[in-house]
Structure 1
Amino acid sequence: MDPQQRVLMEVVYDSLCAAGQPMENLKGSNTAIYVGDPTPIHRHGLVALDLAVQIVRSGKSNVAVAARTNLILSPAMYISESNLGMLSPNGRCAMWDTAADGYARGEGVAAVIVKTLSQALADNDPIECIIREVAVNQDGKTSGLTVPCNVAQTALIRDCYSRAGLDPVNNLQERPQFFHAHGTGTQAGDPQEAEAISNSLFPVGSPAAQDAENLFVGSIKTVIGHTESTAGLANVISTSLAMRNGVIPPNMHFKNLSDRVVPFFDHLKIPTSPTPWAINHGQTRRASVNSFGFGDTNAHCILEEYTQRREKVTSSINQTFAPLVFSAASELALRQMISDHLEYLKDHPDVPILDFAYTLQDRRSTLPYRKDIFAPTVKDAIVALEALGATDAETEGMNTRFKSLNGSTKLWTIHEELLASKESSRLAEGALSQPLCSAVQILLVDILRAAGITFTAVVGHSSGEIGAAYAAGILSAKDAVRIAYFRGMHAKLAASPSPNAPRGAMIAVAESPDAARVICANDFQGHLQLAAINSSFSVTLSGDEDAIDAAESLLKAKGMFARNLKVDTAYHSAHMASCADLYYDSLQKCNIQPLPQSAEAAPIWYSSVYNGGVIYQSRVTNQYWVDNMCQTVLFADALVEAVKNNGPFDIAIESIVQVLKDIFIPVPTHMIPSKLVIAGAQLIADRLLSLTSRGSTLIINEPDLIVQTAIRAKASAKTIQVVCVTSSTTNSQINQCVYLDPSSPVHVVQSLVGKCSVFVHFSRRAASDAIRDLIVANLSSSCLKITEECDLANVLEESFSDDTLDLPSVEVFDLADVTSHKAIRETLAVVDWANSQSALAMVQSIDSQPIFRSDRSYLFVGMTGELGQSLARWMITHGARFIVLTSRRPAVNARFVNDMFTRYEAVVKTVPLDITSPESLQSVLTSMAAALPPIAGVINGAIVLDDEPFANMLFE
């Protein structure tokens, strides 16, 4: 990308942020953008502003952007301008000074966001200043291309003030106090501009000429140089800043007034030090801005201070907390953003924290990489942001953020443990961690409710179900804490059924549930159990401590993510059997009473104990909490059910997104603003089978493998036979198929009579005609392959007479109609999948479409070092979730593997591979095929060196 374009885009984005205009609010809008062309002609910045003002005034656009960039990327302009004598040999802009000998080139990128005042007020936008008027004209014929004309400049200034309804010559109140001159510091331009200013604002014999008050004149070029095509916008921005601060900036390099300027300097003054911007009573701060172009185009702008500040509205609601949400386009940018805002808060300790939070949340674009903190005061925010920078947001001590969130909320006597340091914390002890975690969850629910945030559905993970029950309104806070307390107390008594009763432990593993079960059964039978299914590639194992340690070593040796959890017992394993009865008895004595739920307002609680089933008051028994402690946590199932039935939801962290990735089709929010489309395999299977009568047969044409598997898995419960059909002879997704040989179709069809069903689909024919071609007899669950070369309609007509055909009642419908189709009562339902591919397409958001697929694997050959890890990290941040790093002697970087899984739920495996050995390669490919999704890409970094001294090398 052209550096000028890249930097310009960055500056425009920063300008939108400063103007409180999130990008997502501008998508699809009538926003206008005016950018000068790439040539370094001085006028383009202010001309772009003139066009921006015109279009918002016309009503054709609500927002307009005027921008320009000027980067010095080539010496060509230096050479040509030096030849013309335009550049200063000493590299200084000495405006109107006797030493003026040309200008110094400067670099700059500028953008100005423009709205009408009424629109800005309606949108509650921050307003820097008022653009009273902009005008543009042309010099006409002069003695040279670069020679300015004071007559045209005078006419322009007068015309601009006239169009603004101002009379600076006859009315002192309507005169500017500061004039931002073009001020290049050239012998040709300075006298012409001085004469134009004098003639337009202080004409001979006018009231203004008789007044003793001087007009300050200066130029930003004496500070930053001449930014050429960006100069006009640089003048506007610097003048606006001076106006907001009430200080007229000094002119640098001014010592002696040029003799050629003296005749026009009677009512003008050049400040050489910061000067207060004084105004008379009832007067508005006003400034004129000049910008003259190479080629004789002139532009003038009148700026005024915005003084009608809005009255701050004080809410009667006691705001409980102020979440500060930071977002950026990358991790590096996020860290920089947090650092910048930390410095801002240190420099502005009096900024209202709620205003600061509002600006971050509502007046900035929301980008993919995010971090939030909770801070009731600026001081707390500074402490939290400094902690982020020091610890990279580790979770140790994270609950300190809840201290004193609201003076009316008490944290009982447990606050000491919540605020304890890492060294003194006892959170690893279940007797403390269980009630502490539940207390924090209860507090969070109360805080969110106080902020007006309600729940649609709740899902809990392990003891998190106690907090979920409270959020669902089924448990009181008192009962929730009692359940958690006795859970932790009795878990201390848990013991292994194994000889010598080793301690219990738990470990998080990046592995599929099926693979985890194999590990437990084959290597650690009776010592390890599957404790939790967190997602399709994230599980928790629980059991004897020595078995956990052995499993960790085994998995890490294979380059897999495995991390010991900080617990003192083995929840959700056989260890819990020894304390289950005691836990039940304690709950019985507590007389826990589930609360009646409101019919409408109560959130729906999806159980991670009972396969995602909905939990009502009647099901919340003492035995439920025992099962919650002892049985496997089916978190993924519960989460999927919650989203399928109550989704979509506005907020999701990365680990939850990984659970849901197979059931979501994200679409751009501006296309469907109120609903996220869900059309995943499980949902499609449920819908199809709900439309098919029990005992009938479902024939599906060209199904996707994932969908086919989901349908078959659920069809048996309704005694529905499923036949999947494909016309492709190379479709490897369909198993157990009968193939019709095109060379002898009659023979094959005759041999199949009574053995399986025949399904004919012709996409070129109408559905009513296709129905007549359906031949069904003794349907089985085999799949029938039909090649395009086979014209089975003709074959069947020749092979069988009409009286031999048994055509049951049949209906054909497209997948796109599944969600709206009425119940099917016929004995055969045919789903035309091939004509409905658009309904199956995994449509990604156009805003952030991943480069790599999350359901495929990527093999790195000869790349386990820094290069491979860096590339793998980049691929993971752009969608990849399964990476295999290989080399002959791979060095396992456990920190990198753990970091990728913790941050992105990405599985990274490191395995040995000699790419020159077919046997070694086949072994790796076989192991990948058994444990990982299909390979979508291979990145090769392996090389074979045959070194020779340079002198001995051949030319080739």
Structure 2
Amino acid sequence: MTQSPSAGLDKDSIIKKALVELRETKARLSALEHAQTEPIAVIGMSCRFPGGANSPESYWQLLRNGTDAISPVPSDRWDRDRYYDPDPQSPGKMSTREGGFLAEVDQFDPQFFEISPRETLTLDPQQRLLLEVAWEALEHANLPASRLFKSLTGVFIGISTSDYKERHLVALEDPMQTAYLGTGNTLSTASGRLSYVLGLTGPNLAVDTACSSSLVALHLACQSLRQKECHLALVGGVNLVLSPVTNIIFSKAGMLAKDGRCKTFDAAADGYGRGEGCGVVVLKRLSDAQRDGDVILGLIRSTAVNQDGPSGGLTVPNGPSQEAVIRQALSNGGVDPKIVHYIEAHGTGTSLGDPIELAALGAVFQDSHSATDPLIVGSAKTNFGHLEAAAGVAGLIKVILSLHHEEIPPHLHLQNPNPHVDWE
């Protein structure tokens, strides 16, 4: 009994069809894998930081010149002498009279953003700053706001405090306590207002994870871009210190440096100095940025997020967790630790946090670096304090500027290295 020629042909056809389908499936899987790991391009950025750093260019000059931008508490914030006592446990007092402050945070052009003067009276200056800096970041990216109307653009903002609302709520008979006090001071509205004013229809998130807020916002934005939930993303953070209340509370907790300075990695580190600021970056998928001919300022290859979990206390850092998230970020981006030569550290300048952070970095990078090929670590907090919710984006912009200028700026206030750190 013999097989007919047509039956053989049918079998060959089936095999060929299966091979074609297999190649197509592999191609789809490869494209999907690439989409999940595609680098994210930074195509625009802007900022307001202490010391007159009101643009990326002036920020770089501040960093390069090693400027200490810490100053006395401005009189328009509170009476620094009235609330000061060198004893941090003194009731109603704080143990510092200095910090990193922005100038003229009360200045704003509401008509430019089509906001009524009446609404502006109770509009948190943090929201005003976000509008201004986001607009400038888009200009830096050569993206007119008119082009983004009804576009799938996401907004991801790190924000943790609302001192402006506290100031108005203190006086319950304040005539400015209108409905605008709510929309002007709710954290979710800080991000929502950007989408409303610019007409953006992508995801919108206000993120509060304390000091990491703007970096977690960055992480979520990168995920959203890779999932194609949005095609462009505005990512930033903002922080203003308008009330003495948080300073008083943090002084009681022993968190604040008496001179208002982050003496990061130094033996004299005694806490952090609070700082103000706002930074916004504009992100696109790398393939889209290349297609559109955008100027690419830097690439974000990967991000990672975790939590301390159980540690020595609610606010005590967990070294193994920090080590794990660094390893995860390297793994997610397929980055060999050997090619990492600079780390912009959290570096708050606390006697407990600094050694834990450096030990985690040492555990990850010790086998890939040596005395002749060291890992350099620095922190912008030494220039203008801890910007809290905006600290992460300040560090990101610093790294982008350092790459652009091919230079690592000075790290301030390091006189005697912390003896609790194994510097080898």
For the criterion TM > 0.5, the same-fold answer is yes
Identity score, percent:
42
Post-superposition offset of 1:167: 2.4
Choose which of 288, 291, 295 in structure 2 pairs with 1:122: 291
Q: Equivalent of 2:381, from 217, 221, 226?
A: 221
Q: Does residue 98 in structure 1 map to residue 267 in structure 2?
A: yes
The alignment's TM-score, normalised by the length of structure 2, stands at 0.59
- Counterpart position of 1:166: 335
The change in CA–CA distance for 1:257 and 1:78 in structure 2 (over 3 A counts) is: same
After TM superposition, the score normalised by the length of structure 1 is 0.26
**Mapping of 1:117-516 within 5 angstroms?**
117-168=286-337, 172=338, 175-202=339-366, 206=367, 208=368, 212-261=372-421, 263=422, 265-266=423-424
State the shift of 1:209 in Å: 5.3
Q: Which amino acid aligns with 1:116?
A: R
Is 1:34 the equivalent of 2:150?
Answer: no
| Cross-structure match for 1:18 | 140
> How many angstroms apart in 2 are the aligned matches of 1:211 and 1:79?
43
The alignment partner of 1:29 has SS state of coil
Instruction: Quote the Cα distance in structure 2 between the aligned partners of 1:37 and 1:229.
Output: 5
What SS does structure 1 have at the residue aligned with 2:304?
Answer: strand
On the 8 A contact 2:257/2:270 being kept in 1, the answer is: yes
Q: 1:211 to 1:257 in 2, by over 3 A?
A: closer
Distance 1:167 1:124 in 2: 29
Gapped runs of 5+ residues in structure 2?
1-122, 162-207
Which residue does the alignment assign to 1:113?
282
Q: For 1:117 and 1:137, how far apart are their aligned partners in 2?
A: 25
Equivalent position amino acid for 1:29 in 2? S
Is 1:79 aligned to residue 245 of structure 2? no
**In structure 2, C-alpha distance between the alignment counterparts of 1:38 and 1:184, rounded to whole Å:** 17
**In 2, distance between residues paired with 1:15 and 1:37?**
18
Kept in 1, the 8 Å contact 2:345–2:377? The answer is: yes
CA–CA separation in structure 2 for the residues paired with 1:104 and 1:2: 22
The letter for the 2-side match of 1:156 is V
Task: Tell me by how many angstroms 1:188 deviates.
Answer: 1.1
Q: Which amino acid aligns with 1:24?
A: S
For residues 126 and 394 of structure 2, what CA distance do their matches in structure 1 show?
16
Q: Which amino acid aligns with 1:23?
A: A
Using the TM superposition, give the Cα deviation of residue 210 of structure 1 relative to its aligned residue in structure 2, in angstroms: 5.7
Render the CA deviation track for 1:647-678: whole Å, top value 9, x for unaligned. xxxxxxxxxxxxxxxxxxxxxxxxxxxxxxxx
Deviations 1:358-399 (A, max 9, x none): xxxxxxxxxxxxxxxxxxxxxxxxxxxxxxxxxxxxxxxxxx
Structure 2 residue 209 is the aligned partner of structure 1 residue 65? no
Cα distance between partner residues in 1 of 2:414 and 2:268: 9
Structure 1 residue 61, shift from structure 2 partner: 1.0
Give the gaps of 5 or more residues in structure 1. Answer: 267-956
Q: Distance in 1 between matches of 2:370 and 2:272?
A: 34
Aligned to 1:89: 258
| Pair 210,108 (structure 1): closer, same or farther in 2 beyond 3 Å | closer
SS of residue paired to 1:137: coil
Shift of residue 176, structure 1, vs aligned partner? 1.0
Choose 1 or 2 for highest CA Rg.
1
Instruction: Give the aligned length.
Output: 255
Q: Shift of residue 124 of structure 1?
A: 1.5
Paired position in structure 1 for 2:93: none
Letter in 1 for 2:218: L
2:358 partner amino acid: A
Which structure's relative contact order is higher, taking Cα pairs within 8 Å and 6+ residues apart?
A: 2
- 8 Å contact 2:159–2:238 — kept in the other structure? no
Shift of 1:213: 0.8
Name the CA distance, whole Å, in 1 between partners of 2:222 and 2:215.
10
For residues 136-172 of structure 1, the C-alpha deviation after alignment (integer angstroms, 9 at most, x for no partner) is 110101121211011000011111101111221xxx3
* 1:188 to 1:13, Cα distance in 2 relative to 1, 3 A: same
CA RMSD of aligned residues (A): 1.3
- 4+ runs deviating over 4 angstroms: none
1:767-817: CA deviations, max 9, x gaps?
A: xxxxxxxxxxxxxxxxxxxxxxxxxxxxxxxxxxxxxxxxxxxxxxxxxxx
Q: Give distance in 1, aligned partners of 2:142 and 2:406.
A: 23
1:210–1:248 distance in 2 versus 1, CA, 3 Å? closer
Deviations 1:79-104 (A, max 9, x none): 11111111000111111101111111
Q: Note the C-alpha offset of 1:38.
A: 3.5
Tell me, yes or no, if the aligned pair for 2:156 and 2:234 is still in contact at 8 Å. yes
The structure with more strand, counted as a fraction of residues: 1
For residue 135 of structure 1, give the secondary structure of its aligned residue in structure 2.
Answer: coil
One-letter amino acid of the structure 1 residue matched with residue 322 of structure 2: Q
| Letter matched to residue 253 of structure 1 | H
- For residue 176 of structure 1, what is the amino acid of its counterpart? V
CA offsets, 1:90-123, max 9 Å, x none? 1111111011111111100111111011111111
Cα separation, 1, equivalents of 2:384 and 2:370: 35
